[in-house]
């Protein structure tokens, strides 16, 4: 995509989300992956990792505040699980796809060809970076408004489908009930630089690999492995 088309695409994106940036460079940076900078040394923008760091903190605060006031009778444990379900990679990449962020990403040629799990993490991170950019450009209230319109709104669906239920706990409960076994989790692969680690974990019953999961932390990879194992076992 040439730069003129990219600029038009970003203008259309601003219309879609109802946020018109004062500093357009912040929006561009939110969608700029490290790989693009590595491949385009002349690029004057930075990559989006610092914005992602900031946006993650703003997102967690807004969602925590929202859940605290929306569910005054829920205990801390349930609120924590709900928050996790709203801000995890699966949830955020779905938000990214609904907003058609993929077409606005600045990626290296190699990353642009990869449409697998790696792209889902890039999309989820771009949502956090976008929140960070909105916060810097227009302040907390505008960032909060964006989060409530596109992320908090998923709470009802997560409640209805019980997507907030801790998959590891549920799989352990079912495994002990049906097979008298306790699941064991093992790291199968660990790759990437320190600032961007990627884990693949497997969940085992009686030394049999039941399912694998991926994530940017061991906990996230284990949760996904447990969720996949529930599917495979038909225990959902």
Assess whether 128 carries a catalytic annotation.
yes
Residue tagged active-site, from 49, 120, 128, 224: 128
Assess whether 56 carries a catalytic annotation.
yes
Q: Rounded to an integer, what distance in angstroms lies between the CA atom of residue 197 and that of residue 147?
A: 26
Residue tagged active-site, from 49, 52, 56, 120: 56
Contact 115, 35 (CB under 8 A): no
Q: What is the 3-state secondary structure (H, E, C) of the chain?
A: CCHHHHHHHHHHHHHHHCCCCCCHHHHHHHCECHHHHHHCCCCCCCCCHHHHHHHHHHHHHHHHHHHHHHCCCCCHHHHHHHHHHHHCHHHHHHHHHHCCCHHHCECCHHHHHCCCHHHHHHHHHHHHHHHHHHHHHHCHHHHHHHHHHHCHHHHHHHHHCCCCCCHHHHHHHHHHHHHCCCCEEEEEEEECCHHHCEEEEEEEECCEEEEEEEECCHHHHHHHHHHHHHHHHCCC
- For the annotated catalytic residues, the residue numbers are 56, 128
């Amino acid at each position: 995509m040439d730069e003129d088309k990219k600029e038009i695409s970003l203008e259309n994106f601003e219309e879609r989300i109802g946020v018109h940036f004062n500093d357009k460079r912040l929006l561009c940076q939110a969608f700029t992956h490290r790989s693009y900078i590595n491949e385009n040394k002349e690029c004057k923008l930075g990559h989006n990792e610092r914005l992602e760091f900031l946006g993650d903190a703003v997102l967690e605060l807004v969602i925590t505040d929202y859940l605290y006031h929306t569910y005054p009778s829920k205990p801390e444990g349930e609120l924590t699980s709900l928050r996790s379900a709203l801000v995890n990679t699966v949830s955020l990449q779905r938000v990214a796809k609904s907003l058609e962020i993929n077409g606005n990403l600045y990626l290296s040629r190699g990353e642009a060809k990869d449409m697998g799990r790696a792209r889902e993490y890039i999309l989820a991170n771009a949502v956090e970076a976008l929140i960070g950019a909105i916060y810097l450009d227009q302040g907390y209230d505008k960032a909060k408004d964006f989060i409530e319109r596109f992320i908090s709104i998923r709470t009802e669906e997560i409640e209805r489908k019980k997507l907030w239920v801790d998959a590891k706990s549920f799989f352990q409960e079912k495994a002990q009930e049906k097979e008298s076994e306790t699941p064991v989790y093992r790291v199968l692969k660990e790759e990437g630089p320190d600032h961007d680690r990627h884990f693949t974990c497997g969940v085992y019953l009686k030394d049999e690999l039941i399912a694998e999961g991926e994530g940017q932390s061991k906990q996230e990879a284990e949760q996904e492995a447990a969720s996949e194992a529930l599917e495979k076992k038909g225990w959902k």
